[in-house]
C-alpha cells in the first residue's frame, strides 16, 4: 500500500481483553466460491510482486540517489516522504468516491493508470536534461511534482483497495495471507534492488541516464500489476445490513467501537510521526554523511528485504495465534531503540561488512512484524460497515502526523547545533517509545493477555526442564 521511503527502508507504511463483536463481511456474503477467492488472492499476490518492482524504482534509495546526483538538498529528500504522507488527507475523499462506485476494478484502473503512466514524463525529462535543454534544479522540481501527483492519486485509490482486500481475505487467514503476500514482495525487493543498483553504478553514461532506463522498465511492471486486477472478483463492500436486529446490534456497539478506533488513531498517528522523524534519512545518512556508494546501499536494502522475507510468514502465523497488539508492543520496543544503533556506524570495514548489515537485518525482521500487525489491527478495529471511510480517516490522520515528522526532521538535520542526523536518531528513539503507550488501551478480539502467555511459557519451560 502505500510505498514511500519508510516502506522501502522497512519493507511501509503499516498496521487485550475481548473487544465488542464487530460484524464481519466475509466473502461468502457476496456468494463467491472458494475457487473465486483463491483466484483473487493469487492475482493479488502477483499484483504485489509487479507493483513492488515499480515501487522500488519510483521510491526509496534509487530515487533518492537520482535526486542527490542532481544536487538535491536534505529538505528536498525529506519531501519524498512528506508528500505521500501529507496527501493522505485526501483519503476520506477517496473513500467517498470509491463507496459511490459499483465496480472496485474500474475505479482503481481509472485512478492508478494515469499515476503510473505519468512517470514517462520524467523519462523524457531526463533525456532533455542529458542534452542540456533542462537544468538539474528544474528536473528536481519536476520529479517532486510527479511524486506529489502520483501519491495524490494513490490516496484517492487506497481506501477502495484496502476495503476490497478486507472482504476477499477471511479474517482468520489475514495474518498468514498478508505474511505470504508481503514475503513475495520482499523476495522481489531482495532480487531486484541490488541488480538495479548495480545497473545504475555500472551504466557507462552515468547514473542519471541509467535511472531513465530502469524507470521505463518500472512503468511497464506498474501497468502489468494493474492487469492483475482483472483476475480478482469485482465486488463492492458497501452492502446493506439485512435485518433490523443487526442494525440495532451495530448501533449498540458503535460508541465502544469508535472509542477503540480512536485509541488506534492516537497510536498510529503518534507512531508514524516518531518514525518519520528519522526513517527517511537513513539512506541519506549512508550516502551523504558516511560517503557509502549507492551499490552498497542497495545491497543493504536487499538484506532488509531478505530478513523481511524470512520473518513475515512466522510473524503472520504468530499474529493469528496471539493477536497483533502484543507483537506491536514487544517488537515496537526493539524498533524504537534501533535508531540509536545507527550512531555506531561509520565507513570503516567493520561497519561495511558487519554493523550495517546487522542493522538492516534487524530492521527487516522487526518491521515485518510492525507493518503486518498494524494493517491487520486496522482491519480488526474498524467497524465492518463503511470500512473504507475508517481506513481513510486513519491514513489521513497518520499521514499528516508523518508529514510533520518528516518535514521537522528534514529541517533539523540541517542544523549541526541540534545534532544533525545523529541528533534526529536519538530524538526519534524517545518519541517511538512514547508512541507505544496508546497500544495498552486498544481492545483486540484475538489478542491474548501478556500474563496468560507468560503462564503458558513458564509451564512449557518447566515441562522441558523436568523432561531434561
pLDDT attached to residue 446:
61
Average confidence (pLDDT) over 180-199: 83
12, pLDDT greater than 70: no
pLDDT attached to residue 411:
79
Instruction: Check if the beta carbon of residue 339 is closer than 8 Å to that of residue 281.
Output: no
Pull the grid cell for residue 466.
523436568
- The rounded distance, in Å, linking the Cα atoms of 334 and 443 is 22
Confidence category of residue 31, pLDDT binned at 50, 70, 90: low
Average confidence (pLDDT) over 399-416: 80
Confidence category of residue 2, pLDDT binned at 50, 70, 90: very low
Instruction: Check if the beta carbon of residue 364 is closer than 8 Å to that of residue 306.
Output: yes
**Among candidates 312, 295, 286, 302, which has minimal Cα distance to 361?**
302
- The rounded distance, in Å, linking the Cα atoms of 166 and 131 is 48
> pLDDT tens digit string along 226-264?
888 888 877 765 544 344 444 444 444 443 446 788 889
> pLDDT tens digit string along 327-357?
999 999 999 999 999 998 888 888 889 999 9
Domains of the chain, residue spans: 21-237+259-461
Q: Which residue has the higher pLDDT, 120 or 17?
A: 120
- The rounded distance, in Å, linking the Cα atoms of 398 and 270 is 7
Report the percent of the chain where pLDDT is more than 70: 81
> pLDDT tens digit string along 73-130?
777 877 777 787 778 778 888 888 887 887 888 888 888 999 899 999 998 988 888 8
What CATH number has the domain spanning 21-237+259-461? Answer: 1.20.1250.20
**Among candidates 227, 347, 236, which has minimal Cα distance to 287?**
347
| Helices within 280-344 (DSSP H only) | 282-284, 294-322, 325-341
Instruction: Check if the beta carbon of residue 279 is closer than 8 Å to that of residue 441.
Output: no
1, pLDDT greater than 70: no
65, pLDDT greater than 90: no
Confidence category of residue 6, pLDDT binned at 50, 70, 90: very low
pLDDT attached to residue 38:
83
Cα→Cα distances 457→156, 257, 454, Å: 45, 32, 5
Task: List, as one string, the DSSP characters of 335-403.
Answer: HHHHHHHGGG--SSHHIIIIIHHHHHHHHHHHHHHHHHHHHHHHHHHS-STTHHHHHHHHHHHHHHHHH
Q: Which of 334-348, 391-405, 447-461 has the lowest mean pLDDT?
A: 447-461
219, pLDDT greater than 90: yes
pLDDT attached to residue 462:
53
451, pLDDT greater than 70: no
**Among candidates 350, 349, 369, 376, which has minimal Cα distance to 307?**
369
Pull the grid cell for residue 26.
466475509
Q: Kindly report the average pLDDT of the chain as a whole number.
A: 78
Instruction: Check if the beta carbon of residue 346 is closer than 8 Å to that of residue 205.
Output: no
**Among candidates 413, 368, 407, which has minimal Cα distance to 273?**
407
Confidence category of residue 267, pLDDT binned at 50, 70, 90: very high
pLDDT attached to residue 435:
94
Pull the grid cell for residue 41.
488472492
Average confidence (pLDDT) over 29-47: 79
Cell 561497519 found at: 351
168, pLDDT greater than 50: yes
Q: Is 31 left (phi over 0), alpha (psi -120 to 50) or beta?
A: left
- The rounded distance, in Å, linking the Cα atoms of 405 and 397 is 13
pLDDT attached to residue 416:
63
pTM (2 d.p.)? 0.65
Cell 458497501 found at: 238
- The rounded distance, in Å, linking the Cα atoms of 192 and 196 is 6
Amino acid at each position: 500500500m502505500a510505498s514511500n521511503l519508510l516502506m522501502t527502508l522497512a519493507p511501509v507504511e503499516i498496521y487485550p481483553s475481548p473487544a465488542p463483536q464487530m460484524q464481519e463481511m466475509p466473502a461468502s456474503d457476496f456468494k463467491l466460491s472458494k475457487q473465486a477467492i483463491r483466484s483473487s488472492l493469487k492475482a493479488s499476490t502477483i499484483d504485489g510482486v509487479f507493483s513492488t518492482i515499480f515501487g522500488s524504482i519510483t521510491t526509496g534509495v534509487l530515487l533518492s540517489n537520482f535526486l542527490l546526483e542532481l544536487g538535491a538538498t536534505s529538505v528536498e529528500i525529506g519531501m519524498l516522504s512528506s508528500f505521500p504522507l501529507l496527501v493522505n488527507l485526501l483519503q476520506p475523499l477517496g473513500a467517498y468516491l470509491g463507496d459511490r462506485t459499483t465496480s472496485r476494478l474500474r475505479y482503481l484502473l481509472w485512478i492508478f493508470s494515469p499515476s503510473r503512466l505519468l512517470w514517462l514524463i520524467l523519462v523524457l525529462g531526463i533525456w532533455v536534461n542529458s542534452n542540456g535543454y533542462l537544468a538539474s534544479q528544474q528536473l528536481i522540481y519536476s520529479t517532486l511534482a510527479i511524486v506529489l501527483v502520483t501519491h495524490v492519486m494513490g490516496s484517492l485509490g487506497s481506501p477502495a483497495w484496502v476495503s476490497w482486500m478486507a472482504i476477499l481475505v477471511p479474517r482468520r487467514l489475514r495474518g498468514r495471507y498478508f505474511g505470504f503476500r508481503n514475503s513475495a514482495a520482499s523476495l522481489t525487493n531482495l532480487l531486484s534492488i541490488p541488480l538495479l543498483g548495480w545497473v545504475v553504478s555500472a551504466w557507462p553514461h552515468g547514473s542519471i541516464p541509467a535511472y531513465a532506463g530502469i524507470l521505463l522498465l518500472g512503468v511497464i511492471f506498474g501497468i502489468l500489476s494493474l492487469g492483475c486486477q482483472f483476475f480478482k472478483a469485482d465486488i463492492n463492500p458497501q452492502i446493506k445490513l439485512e435485518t433490523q436486529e443487526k442494525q440495532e446490534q451495530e448501533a449498540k456497539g458503535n460508541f465502544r467501537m469508535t472509542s477503540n478506533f480512536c485509541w488506534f488513531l492516537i497510536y498510529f498517528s503518534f507512531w508514524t510521526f516518531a518514525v518519520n522523524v528519522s526513517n527517511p534519512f537513513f539512506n541519506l545518512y549512508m550516502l551523504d554523511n558516511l560517503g557509502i556508494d549507492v551499490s552498497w546501499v542497495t545491497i543493504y536494502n536487499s538484506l532488509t528485504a531478505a530478513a523481511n522475507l524470512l520473518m513475515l510468514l512466522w510473524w503472520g502465523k504468530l499474529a493469528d495465534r496471539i493477536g497483533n497488539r502484543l507483537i506491536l508492543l514487544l517488537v515496537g520496543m526493539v524498533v524504537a531503540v534501533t535508531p540509536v544503533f545507527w550512531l555506531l556506524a561509520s565507513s570503516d570495514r567493520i561497519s561495511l561488512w558487519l554493523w550495517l548489515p546487522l542493522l538492516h537485518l534487524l530492521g527487516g525482521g522487526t518491521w515485518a512484524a510492525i507493518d503486518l500487525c498494524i494493517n491487520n489491527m486496522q482491519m480488526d478495529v474498524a467497524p465492518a460497515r463503511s470500512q473504507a471511510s475508517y481506513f481513510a480517516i486513519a491514513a489521513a490522520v497518520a499521514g499528516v502526523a508523518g508529514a510533520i515528522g518528516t518535514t521537522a526532521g528534514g529541517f533539523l538535520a540541517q542544523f549541526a547545533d541540534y545534532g544533525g542526523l545523529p541528533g534526529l536518531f536519538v530524538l526519534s528513539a524517545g518519541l517511538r517509545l512514547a508512541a507505544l503507550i496508546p497500544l495498552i488501551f486498544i481492545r483486540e478480539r484475538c489478542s491474548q493477555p501478556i500474563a496468560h502467555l507468560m503462564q503458558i511459557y513458564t509451564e512449557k519451560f518447566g515441562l522441558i526442564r523436568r523432561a531434561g
